[in-house]
Amino acid sequence: MVSFLGTLRPTPFSMASFAPCRRQISLHSSPLSLPRTGFFPFKRILQACLQSNAAIGDVGVQLPAHQSEIIFVGTGTSEGIPRVSCLTNPSKKCPVCTKAAEPGNRNKRLNTSMLIRYPGPSGRCNVLIDAGKFFYHSALRWFPAYGIRTLDAVIITHSHADAIGGLDDLRDWTNNVQSHIPIYVAKRDFEVMKKTHYYLVDTSVIIPGAAVSELQFNVINEEPFVVHDLKITPLPVWHGPNYRSLGFRFGNICYISDVSEIPEETYPLLKDCDILIMDALRPDRSSTTHFGLPRALEEVRKIRPKRTLFTGMMHLMDHEKVNEGLMKLMETEGLDVQLSYDGLRVPVTL
């Protein structure tokens, strides 16, 4: 068992990259200031979570307000782990899904998603990458536990259901916490959303009085953009033949959740990477749309980040067994690579 929080190298916090958080948005900015609520209202919920989920040792430990962090909201495939079909199979027992069904087990994984938290003058900024089909369940599990109340922005990697299927659930925030949520999305994916989420894009079609998510769509291209003073650089990658997905770089952290090929022009954007979060679907081979572990490791050797955390793992990836194998790469090749897991929090310097 590897506990990342326990084995983390301390990351000295630097204010160098933070101008005062002026809620600056490079695109269609709203002057509205969103309320931020501190951690204390969550105390009782947090205690309940700690009692019911002892395996997640670091949940609820509040980091100092000046410390930035990333939280792995989800690290699994589209159908989630455990798979229902594995748990109902009368002829074959799936070892990973059986374990994943146990409370607190790190093989339980929902749709890939990450939260970036960093300090602003009136509280922490919470920027979410993707809100997929299981967003509600992930948020229910981790947001109260980590004291996450507002969503200051959502940035979208691509328009598959496991990345945007939860946009409808943002209504709970815009009805009850804040007036709206800015969404940052590439034009091609916005075009998809006009069909899949037409009532969120054009709210004039809604029956008066019906409450839906109030989303403020900002179309991005493949150039860097700024969200609440955080510079975010898109990392264009292929996610299957002829289908583009975006990774994102913020500070020296690179997040690439859905990739089958990295175009040559994206490699310079991955230079001097401290933490690489990379797609690794299965232990044996790649699929047409995702890196498998061998290919993901090849890319790690090429990119040479200081540390790598894999994400997007299917049910063939046993958390402990795969991590044991990956640990050996530290001795043999000096590679710091591990699987992430839902709820993992890593303090970072942005």
Residue 62 and residue 42 in contact, taking contact as beta carbons nearer than 8 Å: no
Task: Name the one range near Zn ion by CB under 5 A: 3-11, 46-54, 97-105, 128-136.
Answer: 97-105
Q: Which is nearer to Zn ion, 79 or 214 (CB)?
A: 79
Q: Does 97 bind Zn ion (CB under 5 A)?
A: yes
Measured CA to CA in angstroms, residue 201 lies from 185, 192, 197, 237, 265 at distances of 12, 11, 6, 26, 32
Give the span between the Cα atoms of 181 and 277, in whole angstroms.
25
DSSP designation for 228 = T
Q: Does 246 bind Zn ion (CB under 5 A)?
A: no
Distance of closest approach, residue 140 Cβ to Zn ion, in angstroms? 23
Q: Does 86 bind Zn ion (CB under 5 A)?
A: yes
Q: Does 277 bind Zn ion (CB under 5 A)?
A: no
Task: Name the one range near Zn ion by CB under 5 A: 15-23, 36-44, 80-88, 114-122.
Answer: 80-88
Measured CA to CA in angstroms, residue 345 lies from 67, 138, 201, 203, 334 at distances of 12, 14, 32, 36, 23
Residues 305-344 that bind Zn ion (CB under 5 A): 315
Distance of closest approach, residue 300 Cβ to Zn ion, in angstroms? 21
Give the span between the Cα atoms of 253 and 129, in whole angstroms.
13
Q: Does 131 bind Zn ion (CB under 5 A)?
A: no
Owner of token pair 């922490």: 124
Q: Does 215 bind Zn ion (CB under 5 A)?
A: no
Q: Which is nearer to Zn ion, 197 or 315 (CB)?
A: 315
Distance of closest approach, residue 290 Cβ to Zn ion, in angstroms? 8
Q: Does 258 bind Zn ion (CB under 5 A)?
A: yes
Q: Token pair of 266, please? A: 């994206």
Task: Name the one range near Zn ion by CB under 5 A: 38-46, 75-83, 222-230, 336-344.
Answer: 75-83
Distance of closest approach, residue 207 Cβ to Zn ion, in angstroms? 32
Q: Residue type at 175?
A: N
Q: Which is nearer to Zn ion, 258 or 336 (CB)?
A: 258
What share of residues in the chain are helix, strand, coil (percent, to 5)?
30, 25, 45
Q: Does 130 bind Zn ion (CB under 5 A)?
A: no
Q: Does 83 bind Zn ion (CB under 5 A)?
A: yes
Q: Token pair of 214, please? A: 């109030």
Residues 139-198 that bind Zn ion (CB under 5 A): 160
Strand ranges inside 121-271, DSSP E: 123-129, 153-155, 181-186, 215-220, 225-227, 230-238, 244-250, 253-256
Owner of token pair 């600056």: 24
Q: Token pair of 88, please? A: 């109902």
Residues at the contact surface with Zn ion, assessed by CB under 5 A = 83, 86, 94, 97, 160, 258, 315
